[in-house]
Structure 1
Amino acid sequence: MTSSAERRGWLSVVSVALGSFVLVLSEFLPIGLLPAIATDLDVPIGTAGLMVVATGLVGAVAAPVVTVATSQLDRRVVLVALTVLLVVADGLAAIAPTFGLLLVARMLLGVGIGGFWAIGAGIAGRLVKPSATIRATSFITAGVSVATVVSLPLGAFVSSLGSWRLGFVIGGVLGLVALVLQLAMLPSIPAVQRVRFGTLGALLRVPRARVGLIAAAFVFAAQFAAYTYVAPFLQQLVGVGPDTVTLALLVFGVAGIVGNFAAGYTLNRSVLGTIGASKFVLAAAVVALPLLAHSVAGVFALLVVWGLVWGALPLGMQTWMSTASPGGSETGLALFVTTIQLAIAAGSVLGGLAVSTVGIAGDFWLSAAIAVVGAVVLVGLGLRRSSAVPQVAAAEVVDPTPTASTPVA
């Protein structure tokens, strides 16, 4: 690959990364806007919350459906179309006169999120040289961490201006920027093979893929069982004010970004080691948080540790699933996206039940237990299956030229 081709490849990666950032930002931004939306559209706050749940559930269904329906299309065309859908969804949400229309807009966004992550998250190997695949993928998945950091402060800022619609306008404008970059930078990326629903079902019979999906379900459920209630933990158990809570979430998010890029290097050494160690450390940090609630400095230190390992886990699990799929990375990532969306919902529900029955500290300990079970499953079964599929350091290793069509095993 020539230096100019390398530069263009990395610019293509940036365009996809921006798309992932805007999608996640658009998904999480309304969480801070729910009270304003409920008041303006005259619906109960609980009903307004459906716009967040609906996006995730539609994304879970859309990931395999979009993968199958578009498997024979040029991936550039599909990614651009999904980014267009993002812009339309945010634009429709910004002008929605009723909650019903706003919910439709959020469901459209769910289609974009599910489809984009199933396809875009594994596209890095088609854009850069094989040895840089994981590093390029870390740029794309960094969009999740960055958007998580930005969404809460931005939501608070938008809410203070008095117009929740501005949040969706910002998402739509950023989506347009991503769209222009993708049109300008993405090369033609021919489809590798046709994917059928039977192909997705066959993946469940691959032991390494089953291990990856189970481990991913545990880690995402554990993460969101605790993280959903980190703000109440800081306010009620640690006893800090809103400004400190915002700072703590910012610290967590920045640590997540650092962890994401650090994992781009550690995964080249050991996929299983990186994921397994991260899960155990996540569990230890979450267990220790209630025990150190009397120390603000101690809590902040643990949030840094938690953020670092959480930043590594999505990229690590994605890499595991990409290398576990004999049908190519998109097959594995479609089921991966569905699994994590459902796990996020399950984790939030379990966390809510734990908080209401045994308190926030009990919820954090439940989260840690779920993470430990997931780590044991991954390490125990992963070691047994490691000889079946080599832990190659690539999410999808193929010839990155526009004419590439054959993945390397």
Structure 2
Amino acid sequence: MLLAIELLDELVGGARAAALPLIRRDLDLSYGELGLAFAVPGLIGSALEPIIGLAGDGRNRRRLLVAGGVVFSLSVALTAGATGLALLIVALALGNPATTAFVSLAQASLMDLEPRARERNMARWALTGSLGVVLGPVVLALVLQLGLGWRAVSGALAVCALTLTALAARSSLPAIERREPVRAGVGNLMTALRRRDVLRWLGLLEASNLMLDVLGGFLALYLVDVIRLGPAEAALALGVWSGALLLGDTLLLVVLRGVEGVRYLRVSALAVTLVYPLFLLAPGIAKLPLLALLGLLSAGGYAIPKAGLYGALPGKSGTAIALGSVGGLVGALVPLGLGLAAGQVALAPTMWLLLLGPIVLVGGLPRDRTGA
């Protein structure tokens, strides 16, 4: 059930990312407005998410998760009915904190199941998410071929989300060892924010996201507006990237049996710093194999730093979520900054800024298991 929640979340995100050119056209949005549509909800959500995460360390985790599922379903339904920028922002603003309550608390519960297997369980989580990222663009492409639009996909996923919420309400969650009030959790949060190892993992999570969610969010726009692919072709190309990411996450489960996660991630990030410029410079169809290689190499970019953050805060999975949300306050500004940059200097040169992600990973990953 916990992994099914992640699968649904990434199905929604994958389909939405592939549909961005269509959403931009239907709602008549500029790049700056599109960046605003994701940045404003991200900032609102990041302000609320620490409270939700801290509350998740208490006895009301189940209620928070179910309530989050209901609001998540509403957010996806409102997105399907969006007629302009304002309604799109409202829909996404509801979805951001709802995702924390619904999806992030499911992840925290998975981490609480086997504390000694956090890296492998996070790899399983990432693999499930990658499957959703792959299926999202494929579903969109199939629906487009049937003559339907992106709104039909969002509407159907809203129904699926509500159904899964009803099932989650009847399932059991792992017992929470620490049942602290939110006030005590705030103290834990402030203490953790002064720890160098925690700050390192937070920074690495945001850096790795440049080659994951941020790239995925702008990739369809890049392929349509710069490379001049059609929306359906761009959705399939996005499927190639996400399919390679899925394969990489599958292989990561095998790699982690014999190789330390941090060591693997440093090598793969170094490879990405070499491959990504080649992808941007390659002409037309030659980009596709390089795009697939990028997806393959980016595996572990989320699972390993997130497992490191959970490992730095044993027994406080809700606090780890809250801290991730604090880091997300900075990350929420990235789509806005990229959207504004694309509006000023065009999208093609703006894409080079994402190279900062793997560069920071190579230089910032810890040299020992403690993360210090």
Quickly name the TM-score band, shorter chain normalised: 0.7 to 0.9
Which residue of structure 2 lines up, in the alignment, with residue 190 of structure 1? 176
Question: Residues 243, 26 of structure 1: CA spacing in aligned structure 2 closer, same or farther, 3 A cutoff?
Answer: closer
Separation in structure 2 between the aligned mates of residue 144 and residue 207 of structure 1, nearest angstrom = 29
Separation in structure 2 between the aligned mates of residue 241 and residue 97 of structure 1, nearest angstrom = 23
Which residue of structure 2 lines up, in the alignment, with residue 403 of structure 1? none
Given the alignment of the two structures, is residue 280 of structure 1 paired with residue 265 of structure 2, yes or no?
no
Amino acid at match of 1:277: V
Amino acid at match of 1:322: Y
Given the alignment of the two structures, is residue 328 of structure 1 paired with residue 351 of structure 2, yes or no?
no
Structure 1 unaligned blocks of 5 or more: 1-11, 390-409
Which residue of structure 2 lines up, in the alignment, with residue 207 of structure 1? 196
More deviation in 67-76 or 232-241? 232-241
Given the alignment of the two structures, is residue 263 of structure 1 paired with residue 252 of structure 2, yes or no?
yes
Question: Residues 341, 315 of structure 1: CA spacing in aligned structure 2 closer, same or farther, 3 A cutoff?
Answer: farther
Q: Using the TM superposition, give the Cα deviation of residue 275 of structure 1 relative to its aligned residue in structure 2, in angstroms.
A: 2.3
Aligned counterpart in structure 1 of residue 354 of structure 2, from 367, 388, 404:
367
Which residue of structure 2 lines up, in the alignment, with residue 313 of structure 1? 301
Separation in structure 2 between the aligned mates of residue 238 and residue 246 of structure 1, nearest angstrom = 13
Structure with max Cα Rg: 1
Which residue of structure 1 lines up, in the alignment, with residue 27 of structure 2? 38
Which residue of structure 1 lines up, in the alignment, with residue 63 of structure 2? 77
Question: Residues 107, 300 of structure 1: CA spacing in aligned structure 2 closer, same or farther, 3 A cutoff?
Answer: same
Structure 2 unaligned blocks of 5 or more: none
Q: Using the TM superposition, give the Cα deviation of residue 87 of structure 1 relative to its aligned residue in structure 2, in angstroms.
A: 1.9
Amino acid at match of 1:284: L
More deviation in 136-145 or 77-86? 136-145
| Contact 1:262/1:312, CA 8 A, preserved across alignment | no
Separation in structure 2 between the aligned mates of residue 38 and residue 242 of structure 1, nearest angstrom = 15
Question: 1:10-409 alignment to 2 at 5 Å?
Answer: 12-21=1-10, 24=13, 28=17, 31-35=20-24, 37-38=26-27, 50-94=36-80, 100=86, 103-127=89-113, 133-155=118-140, 157=143, 161=147, 165-187=151-173, 189-190=175-176, 192-194=178-180, 195=182, 196-221=185-210, 223=212, 227-231=216-220, 234=223, 244-267=233-256, 269-291=259-281, 293-294=282-283, 296-297=285-286, 299-326=287-314, 328-340=316-328, 342-343=330-331, 345-346=333-334, 349-350=337-338, 353=341, 356-357=344-345, 360=348, 362-378=349-365, 382-383=366-367, 386-387=369-370
| Equivalent position SS for 1:286 | helix
More deviation in 344-353 or 82-91? 344-353
1:132-184 CA distance string (max 9 Å, x none) = 55444334333542343344454563698466543332121110232233234
Q: Using the TM superposition, give the Cα deviation of residue 47 of structure 1 relative to its aligned residue in structure 2, in angstroms.
A: 5.0
Q: Using the TM superposition, give the Cα deviation of residue 213 of structure 1 relative to its aligned residue in structure 2, in angstroms.
A: 1.2
Separation in structure 1 between the aligned mates of residue 90 and residue 228 of structure 2, nearest angstrom = 39
| Contact 2:42/2:96, CA 8 A, preserved across alignment | yes
| Contact 1:219/1:374, CA 8 A, preserved across alignment | yes
| Equivalent position SS for 1:17 | helix
Q: Using the TM superposition, give the Cα deviation of residue 314 of structure 1 relative to its aligned residue in structure 2, in angstroms.
A: 1.0
Separation in structure 2 between the aligned mates of residue 340 and residue 294 of structure 1, nearest angstrom = 34
| Contact 2:224/2:234, CA 8 A, preserved across alignment | yes
Separation in structure 2 between the aligned mates of residue 368 and residue 203 of structure 1, nearest angstrom = 29
| Equivalent position SS for 2:362 | helix
Q: CA RMSD in A?
A: 3.7
More deviation in 218-227 or 314-323? 218-227
Amino acid at match of 1:328: K
Question: Residues 177, 143 of structure 1: CA spacing in aligned structure 2 closer, same or farther, 3 A cutoff?
Answer: farther
Question: Residues 109, 186 of structure 1: CA spacing in aligned structure 2 closer, same or farther, 3 A cutoff?
Answer: same
More deviation in 169-178 or 149-158? 149-158
1:32-82 CA distance string (max 9 Å, x none) = 54246526xxx8886576443343333322321211234322433322221
Separation in structure 2 between the aligned mates of residue 71 and residue 146 of structure 1, nearest angstrom = 29
Separation in structure 1 between the aligned mates of residue 299 and residue 92 of structure 2, nearest angstrom = 26
| Equivalent position SS for 1:371 | helix
1:315-355 CA distance string (max 9 Å, x none) = 11111111122552332232224424632641662475278
1:260-288 CA distance string (max 9 Å, x none) = 23333434531211221222122211122
Q: Using the TM superposition, give the Cα deviation of residue 208 of structure 1 relative to its aligned residue in structure 2, in angstroms.
A: 1.4
| Contact 1:256/1:312, CA 8 A, preserved across alignment | no
| Equivalent position SS for 1:122 | helix
1:381-401 CA distance string (max 9 Å, x none) = x12x64477xxxxxxxxxxxx
Q: Percent identity?
A: 21
Separation in structure 2 between the aligned mates of residue 161 and residue 336 of structure 1, nearest angstrom = 40
